[in-house]
Chain A
Amino acid sequence: MNILVIAEHDNASLKAATLNAVTAAVKIGGEVDVLVAGANCAAVAQAAAQITGVSKVKLAEAACYAEQTAENAAALIISLAAGYTHILAPATSHGKNTLPRVAALLDVAQISDIVEVVSPDTFVRPIYAGNAMATVQSSDQIKVITVRTTGFDAAENGGNATIEAVAAAAQSGKTKLVNRELTKSLRPELVAAKVIVSGGRGLGSGENYHAVLEPLADKLGAALGASRAAVDAGFVPNDYQVGQTGKIVAPQLYIAIGISGAIQHLAGMKDSKVIVAINKDPDAPIFQVADYGLVADLFQAVPELTAAL
């Protein structure tokens, strides 16, 4: 078996999600190559070459890959697909955007968001917002797969793969990036954070969200998250959202504050190692998944917690 893993990066650094996808690839077995497609991204290829378990890094550098549009990325992957039995990418917005295009052009199905490798053709994936786990088997020659990063540990560093330059494929001129506004924050990224402080509708307003949660997040070096209710109420932007339709996270510690625990929120955080819930409603569903529940008024309990840390 030969597996190609599509690296997630921003041309400057390799994103951690790639490491989880490599672990999934290693579990499938066989040779694992990593494709780094971008512009001026040699440093990313160097980082990919150090991942344990990677045989070869394929580096495609061209201006048309700088913005990583799905059209150009898919065309490149197709040009390299011959000889591979599996093509994997982390289920990030880039992976989700690109890989179905690859699958369609290869005339194969895609298996989305796997959380477990049963055998080289059989995988487990969540359906119905994680309310059921389906074991699925693919009969296609090439398996095209996105990997839910929280389902696999990150691969370690310690490898020494060779880096091989590959030629760019035909480019599409139909899509142009006009603007990219990434939320600037000194906090860790939500999907990579060890600790997440997350707030819900119980906070009452955007001002309260920041005033109550930020000091706690600062103390813990935590990322800030939110429930969909808090996002819908306009407390914080959408990229804070943890849940089935937002980010799927699995930190060491997840502190849910003023979050009732709607099923779609639980789907996004229930794989966290330790869950703490602070909510004044003792019947809130969040307490059914929390390791430690504190029934209290968050406006008193959270500042008290912050002060005591």
Chain B
Amino acid sequence: MKVLVAVKRVIDYNVKVRVKNDGSGIDLANVKMSMNPFDEIAIEEAVRLKEAGIVTEVIAVSCGLTACQETLRNAMAIGADRGILVETEVELQPLAVAKLLQALVVKEAPQLVILGKQAIDDDANQTGQMLAALLDWPQATFASKVVIADGHALVTREVDGGLETLQLDLPLVITTDLRLNTPRYATLPNIMKAKKKPLAVLKPAELGVDVSPRIATLKVLEPAKRKAGVKVADVAQLIDKLKNEAKVI
């Protein structure tokens, strides 16, 4: 069976983001961009399923600017077999991405779609669930363990207060949580090999999808700064402050 994996190009998670002075957004100029960490986990999981003989082909998909081709090459260096870029300059919101992925699922007929649970830029945590709804497929979000056997998936999910395990029919959508796996480093030979793997480029219109944004960002500001307090000399002073100044104990 085929598996489709969605990967997003975001500001590298180690970069300290800067809000633009005019409040119009985040400064992306000359900032290191990388694959969304949760999506890296998604690719790794798909590649492991292929190595286990459960999956025959791993297709990486990215939606956005031409530069997302780099992200797809990274996915192919980890082990994806080919890439598809849905190229557009339009700011893509989760519903639009879910519709693009839906159109690709119809075209490619995978039995499984794996996505990161959220992207570390807009922190929306929506696309996987939306895609599952549009396809009328079951979903297993926030996965920390995936087992596929006998036409079912057994997925352990990280939920408030603990873990739950679901049995789901295929085809399905899975979104990854941090502890699903630790992605491998792409080796130099695999990076070289990835450059030769097929990468198709499509436009949203070719998939018949309207990607117009539904939500307008009016302004982006720095969060209110919490001012640093005082250093206390010892435990006795700490207790005194908590009792008499803050009055929290």
Contacts and interface: CB of A to CB of B under 8 A. Distances in A.
B188 to A, nearest CB: 27
A164 B249 CA distance: 43
Nearest to B152: A176
Given A180-B163, A304-B235, A131 B138 contact: no
B90 interface: no
B249 to A, nearest CB: 7
Interface in B11-26: 11, 16-17, 19, 26
Given A97-B141, A176-B167, A178-B165, A112 B126 contact: yes
A253 B229 contact: no
B189 interface: no
Interface stretch (A58-66, A99-107, A155-163, A207-215): A99-107
A293 B230 contact: yes
B226 interface: yes
Chain B's interface size range is 35 or more
B219 interface: yes
User: Taking each of A100, A102, A293, A308, which has the highest tally of chain B beta carbons within 10 Å of its own beta carbon?
Assistant: A100
Contact of B132 (A101, A135, A301): A101
B202 interface: no
B11 A96 contact: no
B167 A178 contact: yes
A182 B238 contact: no
Given A96-B141, A112-B124, A135 B19 contact: no
A136 interface: yes
Interface string A271-309: 001111000001000011111111110000100110011
Interface stretch (A29-37, A46-54, A137-145): A137-145
Contacts of A247: 160
Contacts of A132: 17, 19, 26, 220-223
Contact of B125 (A112, A238, A282): A112
A128 B232 contact: no
B221 A139 contact: no
Nearest to A178: B165
B149 interface: no
Interface string B205-223: 0000000001111111111
A129 interface: yes
B3 interface: no
Interface of B: 11, 16-17, 19, 26, 93-95, 98, 120-134, 137-142, 144, 154, 157-169, 172, 177-179, 214-223, 226, 228-232, 234-236, 238-239, 241-242, 246, 248-249
Given A100-B129, A110-B130, A292-B230, 19 more contacts: A101-B129, A103-B130, A104-B98, A105-B134, A110-B94, A126-B123, A126-B223, A132-B223, A134-B217, A137-B218, A139-B214, A174-B138, A178-B166, A180-B165, A245-B178, A247-B160, A273-B246, A274-B248, A301-B235
Nearest 4 A/B pairs, CB to CB: A100-B129, A291-B229, A104-B130, A109-B214
17 contacts: A97-B129, A101-B132, A102-B133, A104-B98, A109-B215, A131-B223, A132-B220, A133-B220, A139-B216, A140-B214, A174-B137, A178-B154, A238-B144, A247-B160, A253-B242, A304-B235, A305-B239
Interface of A: 69-71, 74, 92-94, 96-105, 107-113, 122, 126-140, 172, 174-183, 189, 191, 195, 220, 238-239, 244-245, 247, 252-253, 263, 270, 273-276, 282, 287-296, 301, 304-305, 308-309
